[in-house]
Structure 1
């Protein structure tokens, strides 16, 4: 998928100008993940239109914002990102990768806690409220004990819950995500 980002700002005379007009390239292995825009605090205008400092992290600080585009290839699940068929080892690898990203929460539940449904190894939670719109294709959002299938035009709001993603379809699942940074008191222990 070709993604182009055009950013406006103000020049020294206060006139509206294009500051950047550039192709974006995906930055996540296994599926195309594009970081469109981000901020840690409300902008003040007029400004130069430069990407705010610190806006490259996946999860924004409380009150911050991230806008992303994600395209999962057909028949993709989080399990595909790890070189093992063992569900527990996949979950351990997924947690190790997630731990490197600020704002992704440590999960006190043992790896494998969320079962063996396709994509379960990628279960994670973040300190954000994520508003996700399915643009094309279909995706499946896995929750701890259920799944939500999204079709083009559907919106899903993920309020800091543990989840993962997969694409069961024959075409790429393309989603737009707007994340709003939140305070989060941690992933709860599962009780059954």
Structure 2
């Protein structure tokens, strides 16, 4: 995918001093990170909230966070876009330690559930409800005992399940994710 295709706008609204709705910011996301080097996914961190209900500010400031963190803040939410390149042999050959290192680079080493019997080396689980929407391309959702192909326009509601994403299509897949902090019952 070329750089022009990767760029998208993040438009943040707020209120002026008279309480009228305005655009506070209109620019690409400021936090972008390639995970795992060439051939790895690119994360575009769009926004996150620190609590629910969310405190609505007239002039919302960029959420302050250092580096990439996989889950949302405790009691918060996270919005991100991920571009998954086609999966190569280097992914399929990852060891459990390699997978844990990749998740550590995303701020959540304990999310990795990789082991020899896992259906995919990047299996992971977070205490979140995730809404995933495929914007472009297609990707395979790998679960413990089954897989399903997800295509542009499809929506996934993931309820804290063990999973991995496998792009076997030969083309980049772009997805948007809304992650909501959760608790297992």
Using the size of structure 1 for normalisation, the TM-score is: 0.76
Does 2:34 correspond to 1:28? yes
Structure 1: 5+ residue runs without aligned partners?
186-192
Distance 2:93 2:69 in 1: 30
Pairwise CA RMSD: 2.7
Where 1:76 maps in the other structure, the secondary structure is coil
Where 1:183 maps in the other structure, the secondary structure is coil
Please, which of 112, 117, 123 is the counterpart of residue 116 of structure 2? 112
> 1:164 is matched with which residue?
164
Distance 2:22 2:70 in 1: 28
Q: Aligned pair in 2 of structure 1 residues 53, 47: CA closer, same or farther (>3 Å)?
A: farther
Structure 2: 5+ residue runs without aligned partners?
1-5
C-alpha distance after superposition, 1:9-34 (max 9, x if no partner): 12333232322222236313212211
Q: Aligned pair in 2 of structure 1 residues 43, 113: CA closer, same or farther (>3 Å)?
A: same
Distance 2:16 2:24 in 1: 9
Number of residues of Structure 1 aligned to a counterpart in Structure 2: 173
The question of whether the paired residues in 2 share the 8 Å contact of 1:139 and 1:168 is answered with: yes
> 1:70 is matched with which residue?
82
Where 2:9 maps in the other structure, the secondary structure is strand
Distance 1:72 1:106 in 2: 19
